Structure 1
Amino acid sequence: MGRSGTFIAADAVELATVSRGGFIESRHIGSAAVVDGEGEPIALIGDTSTPVFPRSTMKFLQTLAALDAGAPLDGEHLAIACASHSGTPLHVALVRDILGRAGLDETALQCPPAWPADRAARDALIRSGEPNAPIYMECSGKHAAFLAACREAGWPTDSYLDPEHPLQRRVAETVGRFGGGRIDHTSVDGCGAPVHTMPLVALARSMARFATAQESSPFAIFRHAAQIRDAVIAHPTAMSGAGRPDTVLIEQLGIMAKFGAEGVYVAATREGVSVALKYLDGTGRGAPLVALQLLVAAGAVAPQQAEQVLPHLGLEVRGGGRVVGHVNVGAGVPVELPAR
């Protein structure tokens, strides 16, 4: 058993600040790892070796395990499997389609019931008089992919979230193999699926492997990783929702980006320069900004490109209905990183 917690404040750096009227009222500390396309560290900021729970950023690895187990997914269906979606009609239709192709319906989902995060979809559901349901939960695509893999492999579907289930054992193996780090602790994610710890540097390394994977690889795991990357880049709206920061980074910059609960964020360019970070306070406010700045500092994203997307990342602080401040990059985030 590893240590009972993640890194401590003394080993963290300032990742972001929040200003109001020119006064910094909040500071968010955390750690971040930046690696190149080979998975080699470019910068290790704060403590990047102590394990963290990747939370929903682990969906890429979970979907990879489902593909390796035979889940018949491609295109938008792969994207929704990796998604923390907002429950729009598009998202729900994709999840239902995965289940239907597997000969299942939404009653097979074991994620908790939820209301759509998308306001229009939530209002429409309430007006219809229908209750909340597991299919609207942001992780339902991943659960549908799990079930599709189980049906294809001939594994039981009623216990697909059990850590000892063959699919979940395969997920654990994939986490260790793709990230190159051992699992020190396993618990239950918000959606009910097992979640495994890994250091930020291992999480960043796994993203680099997704980014640089080749469809022509002799190894199935890398061919599947390339399929996932291409699906995510091709279908950004399926990954999150229109106008959300992840969607913006994917759509406008071609970055494979994903948030996770408790302040975790990952981002990878097509060349493989990858970032994994965690806010120690769990908020994640401004995490896409920090990840983007680290990619700029590494020379992987042009400053002009970054400037164009900043207005779409939800960084404004409001007071009385008007903008009175912003979320900004913290002092612990480098302006420039060594060239490799």
Structure 2
Amino acid sequence: MSDPVILAEVWRGPFLECTHTGHAVICDDSGQIVAAWGDPDAIFMPRSSAKMIQALPLVESGAADAFGVTQPQLALSCASHLGGAMHTDRVRDWLTGLSLGDDDLRCGPQMPQDRAAFNDLIRADAKPCQIHNNCSGKHAGFLTLSRHLGGGPEYIDPDHPVQRASLAAFEEITEETSPGSGIDGCSAPNPACTMHGMARAMASFAAARDGADTRQTAAVRLWQAMVAHPALVAGNRHAATALMRATTQPVAIKNGAEGYYSAIIPGLKLGIALKVMDGAIRGSNCAITALLVRLGLLDPDHPAARRFCNAPILNRRGIETGVIKPAESLI
């Protein structure tokens, strides 16, 4: 087993002040590793980076079509959104179409990260709802699948048909038996897999062909929804949204908690899995940006790239004091 390696560095003046270590794997459509840093066999929960996989049963079961789920709603089923009006209005409409409401969600309330929505709640002296939760789109998808399968209201129970279908899809597309799962921030189970397994799953999405079979058609619909609606997948201030808008060809990019990232690259039929060990978002943002640049998918001088990779560090007076940059091995 290999130790994690340095993926991102923080310099202050001429001094290396901090490093972010981790693991990363790039996989091709045959499931083989194209490039790797650290340990491809290291096991982690991909957290929200796996939402595309968790959404597969929603589409391939026929539930999405049976209930008229739109492409923006499919994007939200894969999202970790900021709780802005563009997100919550669509989730609310989705639930209304199912004759359901906020109380039917099981993700828990969360103060929105969208500044306007946050300020609106403060001004109204109101509390956030579950629809504001960054995972409410995923949970609306779970509720849609539950309705289609005739499941009960506790759709986050590991033994519920929704979660059994989600785990089956996860193990099939990673080509691994998950060694276990934890409970995610939104209360749904989150299975673990190797870095190789997650990169292999993303490559499977990337190589999928519309019409080839039910699984591949579902995979194509989901990644296309993400790249068509990058602001719904995260939000206008988020790295995943900015990077999806900046790449030179369609790339579906998904962040997860604790420094995880995944990416689907259909044009190259490649998948990426990345994990920064200390969970620092600045480290994972820098590393995923560097990999996109390495693969020729992103101009290193694009403002979005410069925002996260080789990004200047400014002090309170706007004086440049240092830089966040990728490790030499990623370049």
Match of 1:74 in 2: 70
The one of 249, 253, 259 aligned to 2:255: 259
Q: Is the 8 A contact 1:147 1:160 kept in 2?
A: yes
2:203 maps to amino acid: A
Measured after TM superposition, the shift of residue 247 of structure 1 is: 0.6
Measured after TM superposition, the shift of residue 42 of structure 1 is: 0.5
The one of 320, 324, 327 aligned to 2:321: 324
Matches of 2:127 and 2:293, distance apart in 1:
44
Q: Does 1:291 align with 2:288?
A: yes
Matches of 1:154 and 1:27, distance apart in 2:
49
The one of 96, 111, 116 aligned to 1:115: 111
Matches of 1:119 and 1:84, distance apart in 2:
16
The one of 221, 229, 233 aligned to 1:235: 229
Residues 1:220 and 1:129: Cα distance change in structure 2 (over 3 Å): same
1:126 maps to amino acid: I
2:160 maps to amino acid: H
Matches of 1:268 and 1:288, distance apart in 2:
16
The answer for unaligned runs of 5 or more in structure 1 is 1-6, 336-340
Match of 1:3 in 2: none
Q: Is the 8 A contact 1:34 1:43 kept in 2?
A: yes
The one of 173, 177, 180 aligned to 2:175: 180
Matches of 1:89 and 1:137, distance apart in 2:
12
Identity of aligned residues (%): 33
Q: Is the 8 A contact 1:70 1:153 kept in 2?
A: no
Measured after TM superposition, the shift of residue 133 of structure 1 is: 1.6
CA deviation vs aligned residue, 1:31-58 (integer Å, no higher than 9, x gap) = 1101123332111211121210000001
Q: Is the 8 A contact 2:223 2:264 kept in 1?
A: no
Measured after TM superposition, the shift of residue 221 of structure 1 is: 1.1
1:196 maps to amino acid: P
Residues 1:307 and 1:36: Cα distance change in structure 2 (over 3 Å): farther
1:279 maps to amino acid: V
2:322 maps to amino acid: G
The one of 125, 128, 131 aligned to 1:132: 128
Match of 2:6 in 1: 14
The one of 14, 26, 33 aligned to 2:18: 26
Matches of 1:269 and 1:17, distance apart in 2:
26
Runs of 4+ in 1 over 3 A off after TM superposition: 312-316
RMSD value, Cα: 1.7
Measured after TM superposition, the shift of residue 300 of structure 1 is: 4.5
Match of 1:192, SS state, is coil
Matches of 1:36 and 1:154, distance apart in 2:
37
Once structures 1 and 2 are overlaid, which stretch shifts more, 126-135 or 310-319?
310-319
2:237 maps to amino acid: G
Q: Is the 8 A contact 1:274 1:295 kept in 2?
A: no
The one of 78, 85, 97 aligned to 1:89: 85
CA deviation vs aligned residue, 1:282-301 (integer Å, no higher than 9, x gap) = 2132323312322443x442
Match of 2:37 in 1: 45
1:173 maps to amino acid: A
Q: Does 1:65 align with 2:60?
A: no
Measured after TM superposition, the shift of residue 126 of structure 1 is: 1.2
Q: Is the 8 A contact 2:20 2:283 kept in 1?
A: no
Match of 1:171 in 2: 166
Measured after TM superposition, the shift of residue 74 of structure 1 is: 3.1
2:149 maps to amino acid: A
Once structures 1 and 2 are overlaid, which stretch shifts more, 247-256 or 167-176?
247-256
Matches of 1:196 and 1:300, distance apart in 2:
32
Aligned residue pair count: 321
Match of 2:219, SS state, is helix
Matches of 2:119 and 2:55, distance apart in 1:
30
Matches of 2:133 and 2:236, distance apart in 1:
17
The one of 214, 217, 230 aligned to 1:223: 217
Match of 1:324, SS state, is strand
2:162 maps to amino acid: L
Matches of 2:232 and 2:281, distance apart in 1:
22
Measured after TM superposition, the shift of residue 110 of structure 1 is: 0.8
TM-score, structure 2 length as denominator?
A: 0.92
Q: Is the 8 A contact 2:289 2:305 kept in 1?
A: no
CA deviation vs aligned residue, 1:277-333 (integer Å, no higher than 9, x gap) = 111112132323312322443x4426xx232131343844231242322211024x3
1:52 maps to amino acid: F
The answer for unaligned runs of 5 or more in structure 2 is none
Matches of 1:326 and 1:101, distance apart in 2:
48
